[in-house]
């Protein structure tokens, strides 16, 4: 089905998403900070990326999306955040994400988006 990179600073969420998508047949890698995610994206050809917008450190999820989009123009990116609203949605899409999901979310919602992207 493809390769996915999951970026979230919350280990429990990251691990649960990785486990669920692995069971869906995806090869899954994870990252907890922006710099790690950008390095992985530059070194491996991913088909999908789930990116939490709020991360520790100097860079955030929007920075990841903008930088990865330049390296992997065809990757399907879903931004994830506990924040919602038109302003954040517009910023996410402007940064280069294909879709935006607010926390809390159901795994089935993300699965539908990934399957629909094919």
Per-residue pLDDT of the chain (118 residues; tens, 9 = 90+): 799 999 999 999 999 999 999 999 999 999 999 999 999 999 999 999 999 999 999 999 999 999 999 999 999 999 998 777 778 888 999 999 999 998 888 888 888 888 888 6
C-alpha distances out from residue 32 to 1, 72, 74, Å:
23, 20, 23
Asked if the peptide bond before residue 37 counts as cis, ω within 30 degrees of 0, the response is: no
Q: How far is CA 101 from the centre of its chain?
A: 10
Report the residue count for the chain: 118
64: left (phi over 0), alpha (psi -120 to 50) or beta: alpha
Residues 6+ positions from 63 with CB-CB distance below 8 Å: 34
Domains assigned to the chain: 2-116 (3.40.50.2300)
Q: What is the pLDDT of residue 89?
A: 84
Please tell me whether the overall predicted TM-score, pTM, comes out greater than 0.75 for this model.
yes
Q: Give the per-residue pLDDT at 22.
A: 96
């Amino acid at each position: 089905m493809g390769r996915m990179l999951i970026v979230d600073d919350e280990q429990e969420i990251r691990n649960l998403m990785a486990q669920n998508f692995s069971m869906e047949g995806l090869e899954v890698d994870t990252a907890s900070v922006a710099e790690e995610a950008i390095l992985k994206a530059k070194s491996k050809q991913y088909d999908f990326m789930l990116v939490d917008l709020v991360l520790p450190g100097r860079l955030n999820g929007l920075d990841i999306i903008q930088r990865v989009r330049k390296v992997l123009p065809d990757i399907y990116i879903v931004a994830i955040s506990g924040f919602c609203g038109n302003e954040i949605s517009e910023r996410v899409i402007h940064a280069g994400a294909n879709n935006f999901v607010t926390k809390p979310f159901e795994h089935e919602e993300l699965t539908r988006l990934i399957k629909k992207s094919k």
